[in-house]
Structure 1
């Protein structure tokens, strides 16, 4: 199959497929007599594997390690477990960070009473204050400089 058909079958952009080839994640396909790339079912499966890993927000380096394990079954089974555990820890850390961000945005949103005709926007006031290094509703006050 040609690269367009592979792209359509996997939902992966053509340029991304070429990028994965250059990165060594996807082996280069055979070339037909007219010079077109000729992908086979193995390319389709490997690209679907890569796409699934990317959907799990795995880095290309991690995907390369997983593909090495796929290519050599049993070579490093502990590495797969460790890699997934590290990815889970990264996701959990991001979730914690996102929850803190949510709390900051909720605190900032609480500064708005939507009565802008009567007074200045409380959200903008808080953001400008923070830009000046002052305390704001969504962050802890800055630490005093030690003398």
Structure 2
């Protein structure tokens, strides 16, 4: 299949596919006589793996490590589990930060009298750099 077909099939933009090739996430594809890239099912599966990993928030270095592990099916999955645990820890940390942000924004909105800007609690809090944790 050609790059456009791979893009449609995988939901990954053509430029992203080319980028993944440049950085070594996808192998360089075979070329037709006219120079066009030619992909096979293994490329489509690998791109699907990468797309799903990106959707879960894995960075490219983690994906590269997971792909290397995938090529060694007899190896222990301890490294894969550690990579996934690190990602889970990062997600939990982001959730905690977002919950604090939500609380702060809720407080700012609740304290706003919706009068004039000169008396606006949202503007005051932002200008003062206030942060309170609930």
TM-score, normalised by the number of residues in structure 2: 0.91
- Tell me the distance in 2 between the aligned counterparts of 1:14 and 1:20: 10
Is there any run of 5+ residues in structure 1 with no aligned partner, and where? 131-135, 141-147
Equivalent positions of 1:54-133 (< 5 A) are 54-116=54-116, 120-130=119-129
Runs of 4+ deviating beyond 4 Å: none
Q: Which structure has the greater CA radius of gyration?
A: 1
Is there any run of 5+ residues in structure 2 with no aligned partner, and where? none
Question: Deviation of residue 113 (structure 1)?
Answer: 2.1
Equivalent positions of 1:6-85 (< 5 A) are 6-85=6-85
Q: How well do the aligned residues superpose, as a CA RMSD in angstroms?
A: 1.6
Deviations 1:45-76 (A, max 9, x none): 10000000000000101001110111111234
Deviations 1:10-48 (A, max 9, x none): 111111101111111111111011110001111111000
Choose between structure 1 and 2: higher helix proportion: 2
TM-score, normalised by the number of residues in structure 1: 0.84
